[in-house]
Structure 1
């Protein structure tokens, strides 16, 4: 036990002394990554802190616990934008992951949202 505590102490010192930037929810991918981290850590309070003000209760604690039962270590993050037109039609646009040196986003795919799926995107 003593060995473990000493090792943990050194890991914390090394982690605290590095110059790496702490991940912030400043992009959709970062916010999603932090969300998954809170699910994996079973931390509902921090999970809720990632939500828009007033939307914290959109995911109940029971649903949050269900998320914990389905997550795996391997996770694929993708960026999408939904275009909703006045006529009710929708397009789902998938973007390539933005690299640090990229100045623009590039589209990977565009799909017409089928009628039976539109209810997922409406409030």
Structure 2
């Protein structure tokens, strides 16, 4: 009787585990910088302009034209690498681009490189609203 009861409990636990693991798969959401870039790449690779536009702030939707979107699709490859950058802008207009480690090292992000942004490249980082 005791063994039968244990086997029923084990069977019940297995059923619960199987049903809970069969639920819909985790959907990638733009809740981290990495996920947002992956979703951007997926939209480009899949040719889904609407999905790409959903990733933009409301006031910046359609910032990428259809022509630019087509060019992005042409240059996209299956493999890609991602870098973490932070732009430090000083009140005097000078800019420093800091590349961070892609993953935490001992619980912290570390600096991999520092680049003083040349004058001719600063316009790439200016707000163009």
User: TM-score scaled to structure 1, two decimals?
Assistant: 0.78
Deviations 1:46-100 (A, max 9, x none): 110011121112111111111000010110111111111111110001111135x
Report how far residue 22 of structure 1 moved: 2.4
Preserved contact between residue 29 and residue 78 of structure 1 (Cα < 8 Å)? no
Q: Which residue of 2 aligns with 1:96?
A: 101
Match among 102, 111, 121 for residue 107 of structure 1: 111
Match among 67, 75, 99 for residue 70 of structure 1: 75
Task: Say yes or no: does 1:81 pair with 2:72.
Answer: no
Q: Which residue of 2 aligns with 1:46?
A: 51
Equivalent positions of 1:15-54 (< 5 A) are 17=22, 21-54=26-59
Aligned residue pairs, count? 107
User: TM-score scaled to structure 2, two decimals?
Assistant: 0.75
Q: Which residue of 1 aligns with 2:123?
A: 119
Larger Rg: 2
Greater than 4 Å deviation, 4+ residue runs: none
Q: Which runs of 5+ in 1 are unaligned?
A: 1-15
**Two-structure CA RMSD over aligned residues (Å):** 2.1
Q: Which runs of 5+ in 2 are unaligned?
A: 1-20
Q: Which residue of 2 aligns with 1:10?
A: none
Change (3 A) 1:18 1:104: farther
Higher relative contact order (CA 8 A, sep 6+): 1
